A and B are shown apart, each in its own frame.
Chain A
Amino acid sequence: MAELRRQPARQQSPAGRPPFHTWAFPDGTLWTEFFRSESGYVLRFPDLADFEVSADGSTVTCFPAPEVPEATSQHLYLNQVLPLVLSKRGKLVFHASAVEVAGGAVVFAAESGRGKSTLAASFAVSGYRFLTDDGLVVEPTAGGHEVLPSHPSIRLWADSEEALIAPRVDRAAALSYTSKSRFLAGEDVRFCDQPRPLRRVYFLGDGSAEVIQFQPLRAAEALVEWVKHSFLLDVEERPRLASHFDQVARLASQPIHYRLDYPRRFEDLASVGQAIVDHAREEIAAA
């Protein structure tokens, strides 16, 4: 993990140069600006915090905006900055959650709002364990790939919380920029703290399916999906992009990728989970 240094709060002064990359929400609201600096990069979350990242990704310095609680900057670091920094250091990091099924990792990759955390949480409260709720780190191994565990917490919107999480589950401090709550792993929300071999990958659809659907993906389709869901700090660094593309192509060439869609109804989550387990077990049994 990169070393995080905290500095006192400061106003976000104009950067003096245009960002080389930005992230925005679907409604166009700016979420993150990526700037180059003399020593590396600056990641700016408007009105929340600046994170200075060294050129090699080994150190991160946080400058929270005034009156932003430490819990917020810590959360931004864990969920947004750290995955980007790991990508800079050559790791494969994706917008995806993962759970353990029969000793293997089952991954749910999706853009924000498609239910990957809700799905992971539904497994974690039903006798399975989750490996991550986002910022999935995948490492190549001699026989394939493995999924690394990340922070033992799950972030959920209030409707998912109400449907899945018992009132006694510990929650982290509230955040200033989102109404999502973060629930800490424990006896009720079970976490797997060891790497697990990657067995199945499901790219989540938009919820328009009337019944649960599994559709196998060709390697080229899986490659495009993985690339779309990648964390990448520097989208202009050609050697790193080339190596990322190579790594993802090797991952995508494994015949374990599916598109998964299902109606987004909380009352159906248990049956959706069982269908996924049955589907994933076929692959795990074959492995």
Chain B
Amino acid sequence: MRLADRLSIPPEVMTRTVGEETVILDLATGTYFGLDPVGARIWELVGEGKSLGEVCEQMLEEYEVSREELEGDVLRLAEELAGRGLVRLG
């Protein structure tokens, strides 16, 4: 996964926010994934069609975090979600 990549969310994947967490769910496969508020913001920006690099640029304006740390977190989350079939490349 690279910062230039854009991800899409398959139509069968749904999210709901409860309390301070967001749950991603693919009912057809029974796959679940929980996101904290920062993860939920990444998910939201990915859903808007931004590349992972653009997600990082937006979040650097919103959070006090180093670029290096943020980019690592975004790439790790993207790879984990892709591994579970909750996002697709392109």
Contact = CB atoms under 8 A, between A and B. Distances in A.
Contacts of A267: none
Contacts of B32: 224, 227-228
B28 A223 contact: no
A220 B19 contact: yes
B22 to A, nearest CB: 8
A253 interface: yes
A238 interface: yes
B53 to A, nearest CB: 29
Contacts of A253: 18-19
Interface in A7-40: none
Contact of A227 (B19, B21, B22, B25): B25
A247 to B, nearest CB: 10
Contacts of B30: 228
Interface stretch (B8-16, B43-51, B79-87): B8-16
A245 B13 CA distance: 11
A235 interface: yes
A209 to B, nearest CB: 23
Nearest to A252: B18
B35 to A, nearest CB: 9
A4 interface: no
Interface residues of A, number: 21
A246 B16 CA distance: 7
B27 interface: yes
Contacts of A252: 18
Contacts of A249: 16-18, 23
B34 interface: yes
Contacts of A224: 23, 25, 32, 34
Interface string A212-231: 00000011111110011000
A53 interface: no
B20 to A, nearest CB: 8
A238 B34 CA distance: 20
A143 B77 CA distance: 38
B18 A223 contact: yes
Contacts of A223: 16, 18, 23
Given A227-B32, A235-B28, A245 B14 contact: yes
Which 7 A-B pairs rank lowest in CB-CB distance, beginning with the nearest? A220-B21, A219-B18, A219-B19, A249-B16, A224-B32, A220-B34, A241-B27
